[in-house]
Structure 1
Amino acid sequence: MARQPTLEFWFEFASTYSYLAAMRIEGLAEAAGVGVRWRPFLLGPIFASQGWTSSPFNLYPAKGRHMWRDMAREAARLGLPPVQRPPDFPQNSLAAARAAAFGADQPWIGAFTRAVYEAQFARGESIAEPGSVAALLNRLGLDGPAIVKAATSEPHKSRLRVVGEEAKSRGIFGAPTFLTEDGELFWGNDRLEQALAWATGERPPGLR
């Protein structure tokens, strides 16, 4: 039996387009026969290294206005609830990212990731507080407070810093990013299908 290929899904909870990718990656990957490796990380340090103090959607207002309209169109096209802008954008995603990094290899990581995104972009809720993250975990039948506490203890607390350095070393500059096993990088929700095809061995004609 052939080994199942794997696609790394690098996502940031404050990222709007990571939301769209997170809501559909498992179904598409299963249909393609590809496993998903969930890789939560923080974009803030990467943006800071480029001299950005906020999301480019805030730094460039015209780009931001287009993004929110584009998100509304894409959510409607994918059958998702209307996009709700959270009270602050981008939100502080540290607590959620720590919990996701702690559970990245657990069977609940997909459901938790979707729950955080739905709270933020489908209901417009804050995900910044550890209590909010714990409540989302509780709704999944997990011990939210215990997971949040464990995620902020050493050595788990430093895991995000290590993952962030890995992201930089592998050339990741935004989210969502998809990395195949041979190191091919695909950036953006609209490249998910191409990333899955590449992971299964498909190549565009004339490209190796």
Structure 2
Amino acid sequence: MAQIDYYFSTLSPFAYLAGPRFSEIASRHGAEVVYKPLDIMALFPRTGGTPPAQRHASRMQYRAEDLPRQARKAGLDLNLKPAHWPTNGAPSSYAIIAAQKAGGGDIGALVFALLRATWAEEKDIAEDAVIREALTGAGFDASLADSGLLVGAETYAANLEEAVNRGVFGSPFWITESGQRFWGQDRLEDLDLHLSGKL
């Protein structure tokens, strides 16, 4: 079984736009996905990136044009200026880490539910009630929101260090077992072709 390491931020609109398409691709190829949420705001300065608020106006204008286009292309609702963004991405990331460790639910559905909560549902994913709802909806025990906070914090920090060391610089970012790297939701087709042995 192929393994894909998936580095992403629960604050990333581009991870949201990857949506269920990535889960479908991984499932089709029988790939095991290791979800590795990380602090994107800490990743940017360490890998030559710039947080959105500090980017040149021309880049932000393009982002404002392109995100809605990509959302329409993916068939997803998108609020370009969500009420609760940016927020603290750590609590939702800890819940994902705890859920992945516990098993028994659909981790891909959990990740997408949290991303959708920010980018389409005007919810604050730093709030306990929002995290619990996402956990329950994906088939996990809501109490995972309260458990393993220390392990979650340690893993969240370790994911960042690992990402920097492996050449990750944005979200979403996938690394296959063979070491091939794919950055951005617009590279999902390439990832699919690679897993098919065609690229």
Match of residue 145, structure 2, among 142, 145, 148: 148
Q: Indicate yes or no: 2:169 matched with 1:173.
A: yes
State the distance in 2 between where 1:42 and 1:70 align: 23
Are 2:179 and 1:183 aligned? Answer: yes
Which of 7, 12, 16 matches 1:10? 7
Q: 1: CA distance between counterparts of 2:96 and 2:128? A: 12
Total equivalences in the alignment:
197
Call closer, same or farther: CA 1:151–1:59 in 2, change over 3 Å: farther
**TM-score normalised by structure 1 residue count:** 0.82
Distance change >3 Å, CA 64–CA 178, structure 1 → 2: same
Aligned-partner residue type, residue 169 of structure 1: N
Structure showing greater Rg: 1
Name the % identity.
Answer: 27
1:112 alignment partner AA? L
The unaligned stretches of length 5 or more in structure 1 are 204-208
Give the 3 Å change call, closer, same or farther, for CA 84–125 of structure 1 in structure 2.
farther
Q: Which residue of 2 aligns with 1:118?
A: 116
Task: Report Cα offsets for 1:97-135 as digits up to 9, x if no partner.
Answer: 111122235332111111111111112222122332123
Q: Which amino acid aligns with 2:134?
A: L
Consecutive aligned runs of 4 or more in structure 1 exceeding 6 Å deviation: none
| Cα distance in structure 2, aligned partners of 1:95 and 1:67 | 26
* Distance in 1, Cα, partners of 2:95 & 2:79: 24
Q: For the Cα contact (< 8 Å) 2:106–2:139, is it kept in 1? A: no
What is the TM-score when the length of structure 2 is the normalising length? Answer: 0.86
Q: Which of 179, 190, 196 does residue 194 from structure 1 map onto?
A: 190
Secondary structure of the 1:38 match is: strand
Q: Secondary structure at the match of 2:66?
A: helix
- Once residues 148 and 45 of structure 2 are traced to their aligned partners in structure 1, the CA distance between those partners, rounded to angstroms, is 24
Question: Counterparts of 1:183 and 1:57 in 2: how far apart (Å)?
Answer: 32
Kindly report the root-mean-square deviation, in angstroms, between the aligned alpha carbons of the 2 structures.
Answer: 2.3
Inter-partner Cα distance in structure 2 for 1:187 and 1:156: 24
The answer to whether the 8 A contact 1:58-1:64 is kept is no
CA distance in 2 between partners of 1:66 and 1:57 (Å): 14
- Pair 1:85-2:75 in alignment: no
3-state secondary structure, aligned to 2:134: helix
